[in-house]
Structure 1
Amino acid sequence: MRGCALPLTKLARPPHLSKFKSFPFPIAAIAPHSLTPPPKSHLLLSSHHPKPNAPFSFPVTVAAQQEQQQLQADEEENFQVLTALKTDYNDILIVDTPKSRMLLLDSSYSVHSILNKEQKWTESYWDEFASLPAIVPKGPIAILGLGGGTAAHLMLDLWPSLQLDGWEIDKILVDKARDYFGLSDLEEKTKDGGVLNVHIGDVFIPSKDFHRRYAGIVVDLFSDGKVLPQLQEVSTWLELRERLMANGRFMVNCGGSDGGPNAIDGSTDPELLSSDESWLLNPALRALAKAFPGQLSWKRMPKENGENFMALTGPLPDLESWSASVPSPLSRSVKNWRLL
């Protein structure tokens, strides 16, 4: 069965990386991308990158400042750096722990993908994307911002006949995802005919080939820990909307309240906002609200799951029917969507 919980034999690192050492580090200090890192806890990586695609020089310095002077042994996990390099688009760092494998990108070293070894669900926004096929017409679904393929793994596991088109701008990143995150497995058809087709390129370049093509589009585009500035523009969403078929939907990871440099405009005092108005803090949600007036639902992930803002276009689905069509934990979480 396809999914995030791949057999450990598929997660073995290539022999040429056997020289890399294991480092004790509290994994809780690494937060999913666009999330606020835990207080006084961060990952420091110092390396010199002489040119694109050159490997990091080692040793890599890994340090974590903790609120307490000492950590209990059961709060720490050993992790291994499997690969570290710089491309034209990213600083790529892939780390392996006894329980999961993580893809960290760009100068913020935020987590962009995770592959759990003992369970399928991530307990973060990636899980939400797997609920989208239940509320869109029959047809292909695009993932803009494929990363290591976390969402694709979950979606094909739950919907094995699904046709996915995954977009990623960095070819080297895709190659690493094939090596370390089982992405190549998803590029082979399931017994039900489902498959992931990988596209390398800029998702914002218009193409007639994708006009009205998709039943749903997942959007998960970040750089330096923030949602891309293009997604804060109404015009971007109006252009991307042309790729949706009739009754198609977007589901978007909008990041946190600091989703971009204009997350809070000068007239908005965050202290005065109620929980129902907190979406105003997010620049991508504000742009989506203008592009899809009366046709936008939103929610915010719980604090323990990162507090990301999520957006869904189209009429608010029948939440009871949606809940009945997906397994736990999605059957509970889909009930939290609300019309803007």
Structure 2
Amino acid sequence: MDTVTPLTASLLRVRGHLFHRRRGRLHAKQHPRPQRRLTRTAGLHCAPEPDGGGAEVSAPPASAAVEEQAPQERPEDFMLLAANRSDFNEIIMVIDSPAARYLVLDHNRNIHSILPKTTVWTNSYWDEFVSLPAIVPRGPVALLGLGAGTATHLMLKFWPWLQLIGWEIDPMIIELSRDYFGMSDLEKATESGGSLSVHIGDALSPSATVEGGFAGIVVDLFCDGKVIPQLQEAETWLQIAKKLMPDGRIMVNCGGGDTEESLSSSWVQNPTVKALCSAFPGQLCWKRLSEKESVNYVALTGPLPDLDEWSASVPSELSTKVKQWVPCDLA
């Protein structure tokens, strides 16, 4: 019999943004500071080991209080498939649910990757990366911060000829991703010749490049639920840009705003976006995802693309979303 321990589902966060269940879908909610807990109890089942024994994990403490819960909302069960630690992450969990599988890291229990089961799309910033190949030259695309391969699944689904090259610093994450997130399949060539090449190491290392440069670079580098500090420095972005081929572009998950007030302000209070603007004055576009997605800021280097052409060249689910990009002009 499986061991059952309680889990507060609201402790699952995507890059620092609170995810909670409403009507069977995951939605992101920006939390003000100090952090406000929105909890509801769910059952966490530990998958049994092959010998019949229960998985040995340190379960998060049960939450007795339910501070906010939708009326008549039923708790949802989550299955803990794997729990481990590494030199880079003190907590690594693979959590399964009927709707999706999650890679959860660090004490804040941030979701670093999602593998949806009932749809292709994540309803979060990973979906934005699918639009990048339509506006860059033909060539290899780098993924700096591979995680369990959420962006890779999406990009190869719609652009099966892509040569994706991903960097992930934690070998344990790659091992679990091959076991639980289908990364091994991504490393095999598609019928159109596309595939993922995995590199374990520092994504910001000078060696993280290819001859001739990348057509595009996707940057999704976080630690403890925050964008890594190096990405808040203009010089870091200038070094990354040197790895592009002519007319190549960088697309970035910049995380959320510094404060609750910044979400309603007319310009972005986001240190990563400000560093990008400093590095690429007049050559940066940005957008903020909606609350139904993840309230993250995403950025794109280079001039604003022709939005009508871009809209016509991406999957229909993204055709309206790409028209929300605007030039970034921070005073």
TM-score for both structures, normalised by structure 1: 0.81
Whole-Å Cα distance in 1 between the matches of residues 94 and 217 of structure 2? 26
Q: Secondary structure at the match of 1:255?
A: coil
Q: Which residue of 2 aligns with 1:313?
A: 301
- Report how far residue 339 of structure 1 moved: 0.4
Whole-Å Cα distance in 2 between the matches of residues 20 and 59 of structure 1? 15
Q: Which residue of 2 aligns with 1:31?
A: 13
Are the counterparts in 2 of residues 43 and 63 from structure 1 also a CA contact under 8 Å? no
- Report how far residue 274 of structure 1 moved: 6.1
Trace 1:107-118 onto structure 2 (pairs within 5 A). Answer: 107-118=107-118
Are the counterparts in 2 of residues 22 and 81 from structure 1 also a CA contact under 8 Å? no
Q: Which residue of 2 aligns with 1:98?
A: 98
- Report how far residue 60 of structure 1 moved: 1.2
Equivalent pairs: percent with the same residue? 51
Q: Which residue of 2 aligns with 1:77?
A: 76
Where does structure 1 lack aligned partners over 5 or more consecutive residues? Answer: 1-18, 45-55, 259-263, 265-269
Trace 1:108-187 onto structure 2 (pairs within 5 A). Answer: 108-187=108-187
Whole-Å Cα distance in 1 between the matches of residues 148 and 224 of structure 2? 17
Are the counterparts in 2 of residues 20 and 80 from structure 1 also a CA contact under 8 Å? no
- Report how far residue 115 of structure 1 moved: 0.5
Which protein has the bigger helix share? 1
Structure 1 residues 66 and 194: CA distance shift in structure 2, 3 A: same
Are the counterparts in 2 of residues 20 and 82 from structure 1 also a CA contact under 8 Å? no
Which protein has the bigger strand share? 2
Are the counterparts in 2 of residues 21 and 80 from structure 1 also a CA contact under 8 Å? no
Which residue identity is paired with 1:83?
A
Trace 1:205-220 onto structure 2 (pairs within 5 A). Answer: 205-207=205-207, 210=210, 212-220=212-220
Q: Which residue of 1 aligns with 2:239?
A: 239
Which residue identity is paired with 2:296?
N
1:54-113 Cα offsets, whole Å, 9 max, x none, are xx9535135344324x77664321111111111000120110011110001122210000
Whole-Å Cα distance in 1 between the matches of residues 203 and 282 of structure 2? 26
Q: Secondary structure at the match of 1:210?
A: coil
The reply on whether 1:334 has 2:322 as its aligned counterpart is yes
Paired residue for 1:276, among 259, 266, 277?
266
1:6-50 Cα offsets, whole Å, 9 max, x none, are xxxxxxxxxxxxx75355657465231232465422599xxxxxx
Q: Which residue of 2 aligns with 1:40?
A: 37
Structure 1 residues 66 and 274: CA distance shift in structure 2, 3 A: closer
Q: Secondary structure at the match of 1:156?
A: helix
Q: Which residue of 2 aligns with 1:201?
A: 201
Which residue identity is paired with 1:84?
A
Are the counterparts in 2 of residues 108 and 225 from structure 1 also a CA contact under 8 Å? yes
Whole-Å Cα distance in 2 between the matches of residues 227 and 235 of structure 1? 16
Structure 1 residues 28 and 324: CA distance shift in structure 2, 3 A: farther
Structure 1 residues 82 and 139: CA distance shift in structure 2, 3 A: same
Structure 1 residues 151 and 209: CA distance shift in structure 2, 3 A: closer
Q: Which residue of 2 aligns with 1:49?
A: none
Whole-Å Cα distance in 1 between the matches of residues 129 and 57 of structure 2? 37
Whole-Å Cα distance in 2 between the matches of residues 201 and 179 of structure 1? 20
- Report how far residue 327 of structure 1 moved: 1.6
